């Protein structure tokens, strides 16, 4: 191959790497903060309680999201109530004038996952599916079209990308469920892009997490691999206190069978903690704080009377929510 051809292939590889990185995220991104690998995250970066003191900012972000969290900073209480009333009408799906715990929980889940719908819609359109189906062949060609199947030598960029293609294909086939894996519907494509949000895809999340962290490829995550993933500069500086705490977390809680490493089940418990639903807990909390007649449901007036619990002066993405009447 000529030097010009080699240069062009390297350039193409770099371009595609940038496109892949921006067009779709891995299930659990590589990070120097191991907690960010946890799928079942809190609904807000704010702490819900400071000791015994309740922090309303947590509720505001849980109820409205934080992507465009600036609108309410500029609103008067009357304006806040007026806009909140429109949201209440959207939450009340059966239009009986009352918001149930289930309806509130569904709304909170929708707000927290709205970016998934938006990201899926954008990428679905970019890939130009035919007859509401996106084929693996089309996706692979558009995403990795620069790879020459006959030119994959270990150590070069194409060899590395071949691993990425194989990983994507495995995830793709899992997302296809009962089909032959040749194509995905839009809903299945959403599961492919965001496997952490679909129960039948969560094994993929665990497998990809282990593949990312398991440097010796024994199928497990050792303590050193666990620490190395979250703190890659360990040889260059003194170990900070938070890393020492994570070592204790690994030994005391992550490694349940005390064999010095995490297996698939233990990794699943780490990144997808069982038996706790943040959206359900938040819905129960909001109802408890606002339900003055104690019927376990909220009228619009009860919500507006306690508007500061739901929105207050906290910045929200409410303006965006109002403009998208066809969503949720």
pLDDT at 19: 44
pLDDT value of residue 215 = 95
* Ranges assigned E (strand) in 148-192: 183-184
pLDDT of the residue at 115: 81
Q: For residues 172 and 28, give the distance between their C-alpha atoms in angstroms, rounded to a whole number.
A: 16
For residue 181 the two structure tokens come to 């894996």
Q: How confident is the model at residue 323 (pLDDT cuts 50, 70, 90)?
A: very low
Residue 35 has pLDDT above 70, yes or no: no
pLDDT, tens digit (0-9, with 9 covering 90-100), for 220-248: 999 999 999 988 876 667 888 988 999 99
Q: Which pair of tokens denotes residue 76?
A: 């008067």
CA 292 – CA 236 distance, rounded (Å): 57
Mean pLDDT, residues 115-142 taken together: 93
* 3-state helix vs strand vs coil in the chain, percent to 5: 60, 5, 35
Cα 172–chain centre separation: 18
What's the mean pLDDT in 16-43?
48
Q: How far is residue 192's CA from residue 187's CA, in Å, rounded to a whole number?
A: 9
Local structure of residue 50 (DSSP, 8 states): E
- Quick check: 45 pLDDT over 70? no
Please, what's the b/e burial string for 247-275 (b: 16 or more CB within 10 A of its CB; e: otherwise)?
Answer: eeebeeebbeeeeebbbeebbbebbbeee
pLDDT given for residue 9 in this prediction: 46
Element (H, E) at 223: helix 223-230
Tell me, what's the pLDDT at 3? 47
Beta bridge partners of 262: 221
Q: What angle do CA 205, 167, 270 make, to 5 degrees?
A: 20
Are 197 and 175 a contacting pair, CB within 8 Å? Answer: no
* Distance between CA atoms of residues 160 and 144, nearest Å: 12
Q: How confident is the model at residue 268 (pLDDT cuts 50, 70, 90)?
A: very high
Average pLDDT over every residue of 193-208: 92
Buried b (16+ CB within 10 A) or exposed e, 200-219: ebbebbbbbbbebbbeeeee
Give the rounded percent of residues in the chain with a pLDDT score beyond 70.
Answer: 68
Q: Are 311 and 318 in contact (CB under 8 A)?
A: yes
Work out the pLDDT band at 59, boundaries 50, 70, 90. Answer: confident
Token pair in block for residue 186: 């839009």
Cβ atoms of 314 and 56 within 8 Å: the answer is yes
Whether 77 and 307 have beta carbons less than 8 Å apart is answered as yes
**Which of 31-40, 113-122, 132-141, 298-307 is predicted least confidently?**
31-40
Residue 98 to residue 208: CA distance in whole angstroms: 43
CA gap 158, 160 in Å, rounded: 5
More confident residue, 44 or 232: 232
């Amino acid at each position: 191959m000529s030097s010009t051809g080699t240069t062009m292939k390297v350039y193409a590889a770099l371009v595609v790497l940038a496109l892949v990185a921006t067009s779709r995220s891995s299930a659990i991104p590589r990070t120097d903060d191991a907690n960010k690998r946890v799928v079942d995250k809190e609904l807000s970066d704010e702490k819900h309680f400071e000791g015994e003191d309740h922090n309303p900012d947590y509720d505001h972000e849980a109820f409205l999201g934080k992507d465009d969290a600036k609108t309410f900073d500029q609103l008067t209480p009357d304006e806040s109530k007026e806009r909140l009333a429109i949201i209440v009408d959207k939450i009340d799906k059966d239009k009986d004038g009352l918001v149930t715990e289930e309806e509130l929980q569904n709304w909170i889940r929708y707000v927290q996952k709205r970016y998934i719908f938006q990201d899926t819609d954008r990428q679905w359109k970019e890939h130009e599916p035919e007859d509401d189906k996106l084929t693996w062949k089309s996706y692979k060609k558009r995403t990795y079209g620069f790879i020459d199947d006959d030119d994959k030598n270990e150590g070069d960029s194409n060899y590395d990308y071949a691993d990425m293609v194989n990983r994507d294909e495995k995830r793709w086939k899992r997302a296809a469920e009962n089909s032959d894996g040749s194509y995905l519907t839009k809903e299945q494509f959403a599961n492919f892009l965001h496997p952490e949000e679909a129960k039948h895809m969560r094994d993929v999340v665990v497998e990809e997490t282990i593949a990312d962290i398991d440097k010796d490829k024994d199928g497990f995550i050792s303590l050193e691999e666990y620490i190395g993933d979250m703190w890659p500069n360990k040889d260059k500086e003194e170990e900070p206190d938070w890393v020492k705490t994570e070592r204790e977390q690994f030994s005391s809680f992550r490694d349940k069978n005390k064999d010095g490493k995490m297996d698939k089940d233990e990794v699943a418990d780490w990144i997808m903690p069982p038996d706790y639903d943040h959206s359900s807990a938040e819905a129960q909390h909001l109802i408890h704080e606002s339900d003055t007649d104690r019927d376990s449901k909220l009228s619009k007036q009860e919500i507006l009377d306690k508007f500061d619990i739901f929105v207050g002066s906290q910045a929200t993405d409410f303006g965006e929510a109002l403009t998208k009447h066809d969503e949720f």
